[in-house]
Amino acid sequence: MPTLPSRKLRVGTLMLVSAGVLAGAMIAAPVLADDVANLAQRLSDLRGSVEELSGQVATKTTEQQDLLRSRARQKADVELEIAREELRLKKLRSSVQERRERLSAEAAEGEALKPMFSTELDRVRGYVQRSLPFRRAERLAELDKIEEQVRSGLLGPERAMGRLWSFMEDEFRLTRESGLYRQSISLGDEEQLADVARVGMVMLYFQTADDVVGHTVRRNGSWSFEPVTGAEEKKQIRSLLEQFKKQIRVGYFELPNALPEGR
């Protein structure tokens, strides 16, 4: 009989505990539901952030890939340009070497031509000094210029010979042409500017600003400008100068004899 009250007590106690648990569960259920909802929202937010970050990463990856491809193309272009420049530099070096060898050969030939050039220059200068005194100072100055360029190394003997030949071609042309010019002449002890009519390279007639007319005369290898005194001779010279001023170079002219000695 003593055991029955004790079993009733345990049963009652168990019922009380179960009722307490049930009551606690009923109280905690709304809180747990809120936590689950918050967790779901956070998961959704995180999923959105992950997707956004994934998109950004994909965009950055594409940009980096495009940049790398662009850099690769630039690198290829630069390497191609470097190859071209290296080839051009190689050609330039080859050209410089060829030029040096050619200059060395020309220098050797030039040394051999120097005595010949000096001889020919003296010969041409002597011709100018003996020829009709038409702008002689300018013609001699041109020869002096060629000689100075050779002496200073600006002109090689071979090219100088070509310049000398061109000069003589101009001299030959003077012998075939006639014309009217202005130049300084020596009358006595004075230098005067005069109109001069050149007939080839054999006769030269002049007229000064104060109407002194005359022609060149050569005696004992020297030239001089001498006035004429005869009225007819003056008339003939003035007429020649007048016709030349009118560009009349062909026709019959009566002129005082101004041929040098021996002609």
If you search the block for the tokens 């004075």, which residue do you land on? Answer: 190
85-89, 106-110, 134-138, 252-256: least confidently modelled range: 106-110
Task: Flag whether pLDDT at 157 surpasses 50.
Answer: yes
145-154, 186-195, 243-252: least confidently modelled range: 243-252
Do 202 and 211 form a contact (C-beta atoms < 8 A)?
Answer: no
Q: For residue range 29-74, list pLDDT tens digits in order.
A: 666 677 777 888 888 888 888 888 888 888 888 888 888 888 888 8
Alpha-carbon distance 127 to 63, whole Å? 85
Task: Flag whether pLDDT at 168 surpasses 90.
Answer: yes
Do 207 and 191 form a contact (C-beta atoms < 8 A)?
Answer: no
Q: For residue range 185-224, list pLDDT tens digits in order.
A: 999 888 999 999 999 999 999 999 999 999 999 988 889 9
Alpha-carbon distance 108 to 129, whole Å? 32
How many CA atoms lie less than 13 Å away from 200 in the CB half-sphere? 9
Q: Report the 10 Å Cβ neighbour count for 101.
A: 10
Amino acid 249: pLDDT: 67
Task: Flag whether pLDDT at 128 surpasses 90.
Answer: yes
The pTM for the full model equals: 0.58
Alpha-carbon distance 203 to 193, whole Å? 18
Amino acid 236: pLDDT: 92
Task: Flag whether pLDDT at 253 surpasses 90.
Answer: no
Q: Whole-number mean pLDDT of the chain?
A: 84
Confidence category of residue 15, pLDDT binned at 50, 70, 90: low
Amino acid 226: pLDDT: 93
Amino acid 251: pLDDT: 66
Do 164 and 124 form a contact (C-beta atoms < 8 A)?
Answer: yes
Adjacent-strand bridge partners of 180: 197
**Which contacts (CB < 8 Å, 24+ apart) does range 244-253 have?**
244/178, 244/179, 244/180, 244/197, 245/180, 249/178, 249/179
Amino acid 55: pLDDT: 85
